[in-house]
Amino acid sequence: MEVFIVSKAVKCLILLAVIALFFVTELIPLAVTAMGGAIACGLLGLIPAKQVFSGLSNSTVVLFAGMFVVGGAMFYTGLAQFIGNKVVSAVGTGENSLMFGLMTVGTVLSAFLSNTGTAACLLPVALGICASAKIPASRQLMPLAFACGWGGIITMVGTPPNIIAAGALSNVGLPSFGFFEFAWIGIPISVAGMLYMMFVGKYLLPAAQLDADQEIEQEIEANETNNTKMMISGAILVCVVLVMGIGIKGITLEMAAVVGALICVLTGCLTEKQAYASIDWVTIFLFAGMMPVSSAMDKTGAGKMIADWTVSLMGGSPSPMVVTAVLFVLSCGLTQFMSNTASAALLCPIGIAIAKNLGADPRAVLMAIAVAASCAFASPVGTPPNTLVLGPGNYKFMDYVKAGTGLIIVCFVISLVVIPMVWPFFPGK
């Protein structure tokens, strides 16, 4: 009997290694890898066949889809672009004030909307102002992309790793994170990130002059709409966020998101077709595919084997602080070269297994993994906003390494200070 259990665990480990290889190399699309991993779990007998597609019925997937539509309405009505224009024109065209304005807008919008969409709608704004004020755009675009990255950490729906961490907890029957709970770490990181870029990071950026009329690819083009629809889409987002934040009895996060999405379509803020187009299906299927893989790791004991091996490498009985630091570095390292969603999906089950092994609360460990997965600052391929500014900013790979490495160190230090304070490893002791 013991041999049978071990063999299943080994099968699961081999499968996990193959998934990790495809995630890192992206030889096939990420979503295909994740769904293929879920199907393989069923074919190998690691989970019951009826659980292979259980991730698609997970309530978190519904939350994702609803918020993508609500966020899409902001872009399609032109409200996100309007907010960006207004704030940036208010702060002026000085290099420092413009950087501060762009980072502030990027941080706030990406806390509730798509990081990629936020970067895409602010990019032409930033380029236009830089051209007219004769400021090198290369000094503005990377801070903007970074702000869209750290802003996502502030809320549960701001970035996929946050939702994956919350989903991983509920998947193993543990209390999940609240909607604004991420703000405890997200706001300090955002403030520190802005200070770092204003006083240190900007000196590490190149000062390349750009062609003023350079064409920029928009992720979502705004429709020809009126101010009424802008107001409606803004009001819907505010109401959805308030309902989620307050936590009204009988109304789940998913219900709030879907009702918001339906109202967006019914009020004409975006068409049904645009609603479907605004959903990031890659994230949906990646999440849904990795949920069964996570279950298989738990049920076969593969997660425990990885946890035991990791713990033995760290000295047999490491402190939870050391574990958190190691997993932060690992998650952060992976996310520079692979999708932040994939990094979080890969490491969250391992984090839970290690925390259980130590008898610690896994919430701290998962928070570190989720935050680190959003710290893709040292590479142009780690996150779409970074890739988006690569061409327009005329950046090289090393520019990201120079400006982003210091920022990652800042995030790492803040995480190690804040996380144990807010989410103690051994609560009640």
Q: How far apart are CA 150 and CA 3, in angstroms?
A: 46
- CA–CA separation, 254 and 252 (whole Å): 5
**What is the per-residue pLDDT for 144?**
92
Average of per-residue pLDDT across 107-133: 77
Res 185: pLDDT: 93
pLDDT value for 265: 93
Quote the percentage of the chain above a pLDDT of 90: 15
**What is the distance between the alpha carbons of residues 418 and 147, in angstroms, rounded to a whole number?**
20
- Retrieve residue 125's tokens: 């704004």
Task: Answer whether 234's CB lies under 8 Å from 73's CB.
Answer: no
**What is the predicted pLDDT for the residue at 208?**
59
pLDDT classification of 16: cutoffs 50, 70, 90: confident
Average pLDDT along the chain? 81
For residue 411, pLDDT beyond 90: yes
pLDDT for position 307: 67
- The confidence score (pLDDT) of residue 418 equals 92
Cβ contact 121:79 at 8 Å = no
Which pLDDT does position 217 carry in this prediction? 42
Q: Tell me the percentage of the chain whose pLDDT exceeds 70.
A: 88
Confidence at residue 39, expressed as pLDDT on a 0 to 100 scale: 93
- Give the whole-angstrom CA distance, residue 216 versus residue 363: 40
- Close Cβ partners of 37 (under 8 Å, ≥ 6 residues apart): 15, 18, 19, 289, 290, 292, 293
Q: What pLDDT is recorded for position 147?
A: 93
Domain encompassing residue 108 = 2-422
Average pLDDT over residues 31-49: 88
- Cα separation, 63 vs 194, in Å, equals 29
The token pair that represents 198 in the structure block = 């204003």
Q: How far is CA 237 from CA 99, 134, 417, in A?
A: 26, 36, 32
pLDDT digit string, tens, across residues 214-253: 444 444 555 555 788 889 988 988 888 788 767 678 888 7
Give the pLDDT confidence of 304-357 residue by residue, as tens digits: 777 677 767 777 677 778 888 888 888 888 787 666 777 788 888 888 888 887
pLDDT (mean) for 108-124: 78
Angstrom distances, CA of residue 133 to CA of 17, 98, 104, 378: 51, 10, 20, 28
Predicted local distance difference test score (pLDDT) of residue 3: 47
How sure is the predictor about 407, in pLDDT bands with cuts at 50, 70 and 90?
very high
Q: Are the C-beta atoms of residues 183 and 307 closer than 8 Å to each other?
A: no
> Quick check: 195 pLDDT over 80?
yes
d(CA 247, CA 263): 20
Rounded CA-CA distance 122/128 in Å is 10
Give the CA distances from residue 232 to residues 74, 76, 80, in Å, rounded to whole numbers and listed in that order.
9, 12, 13
Residue 80 has φ and ψ, to the nearest 5°, of: -60, -45
The runs of H, that is alpha helices, within 200-319 are 227-246, 253-266, 272-278, 281-300, 302-313
Residue 79 is predicted with a pLDDT of: 81
SS3 (DSSP) at 77: coil
pLDDT at 270 over 80: yes
Give alpha helix (H) positions in 77-226. Answer: 79-91, 95-112, 115-133, 138-151, 160-171, 183-199
Residue at token pair 């290369």: 138
H helix intervals, 134-174: 138-151, 160-171
Least-confidence region, from 218-222, 264-268, 363-367: 218-222
Judge contact between 241 and 112, C-beta under 8 A: yes
Write down the pLDDT at residue 218. 45
Q: Is residue 428 part of a domain?
A: no
The pair of structure tokens assigned to 57 is 């019925």
For residue 127, count other CB atoms closer than 10 A to its CB.
22
The model's pTM: 0.72
What is residue 221's DSSP assignment?
P
pLDDT digits (tens, 9 = 90+) for 140-163: 889 999 999 999 899 887 888 888
Amino acid at 315: G
Helices vs. strands in the chain: H and E counts, helices first: 19, 0
User: Does residue 247 form part of some domain?
Assistant: yes
Predicted local confidence at residue 222, as pLDDT: 57
pLDDT tens digit sequence for 198-214:
999 888 888 755 444 44
In a domain, residue 210? The reply is yes
Residue 143's contacts (CB-CB under 8 Å, 6 or more residues apart) are: 99, 102, 103, 197, 201, 202, 205
Half-sphere exposure at residue 133, Cβ-oriented, CA atoms within 13 angstroms: 22
The region, left, alpha or beta by phi > 0 then psi within -120 to 50, assigned to residue 69 is alpha
For the chain, how many structural domains are there in total?
A: 1
Burial (CB count <10 Å: 0-12, 13-18, 19+), residue 57? exposed
81-115 tens-digit pLDDT: 787 777 777 777 677 888 888 899 889 988 887 77
Residue 427 domain-assigned? no
